[in-house]
């Protein structure tokens, strides 16, 4: 069974959406209730910077991927090596 590779992007996009909502809430709370103090502003800025770096790295990493290919799922097609003929033993693995 094979699945189009781009299907992997759907759960990632959903996760990204949830992550974005939580991030906005967290940053808003930090700036609103943190009295706009230096640690609150610096940590919020650092978080935004970290998120941008991770997202840019991901986009760069995924840009080389060929999304038209398929992801193989199921039993792998393994070619067994030919066993040497043994005296008195029938090699059932040979075609």
Partner 1 sequence: MKLKPTFPNMLPGEQVVLLLHRHGFVAARIILLYVFLGVVPAAAWLLLGSYTNAIADPATAGYAALVLLFASYFLVWGLLFFVSWLNYYLDVWIVTNERIINIKQVQLFHRIVSEQKLYRVQDVTWEMQGVLGNMFKFGNVIIQTAAEQSKFTFEHIPDPEAVAKTVMHLLEQIESQLGANTMAKLDGDLVEGAAQPKPPAPKI
Could you list the residues that contact partner 1 (CB under 8 A)?
A: 5, 8-9, 12, 15-16, 19, 22-23, 25-26, 29-30, 33-35, 37, 39-40, 43, 47, 50-51, 54-55, 57-58, 61-62, 64-67, 69-72
Q: Output 61 or 84, the one with its CB closest to partner 1.
A: 61
DSSP 64: T
Q: Shortest approach of partner 1 to residue 79 CB, angstroms?
A: 19
Question: What is d(CA 71, CA 4) in angstroms, rounded to the nearest whole number?
Answer: 6
User: What three-state secondary structure class fits 3?
Assistant: strand
User: What three-state secondary structure class fits 7?
Assistant: helix
């Amino acid at each position: 069974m094979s699945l189009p590779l781009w299907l992997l992007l759907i759960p990632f996009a959903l996760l990204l959406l949830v992550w974005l909502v939580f991030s906005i809430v967290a940053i808003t709370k930090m700036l609103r209730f943190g009295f706009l103090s230096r640690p609150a502003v610096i940590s919020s800025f650092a978080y935004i910077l970290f998120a941008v770096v991770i997202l840019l790295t991901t986009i760069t990493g995924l840009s080389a991927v060929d999304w038209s290919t398929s992801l193989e799922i199921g039993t792998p097609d393994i070619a067994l090596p030919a066993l040497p003929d043994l005296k008195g033993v029938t090699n059932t693995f040979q075609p």
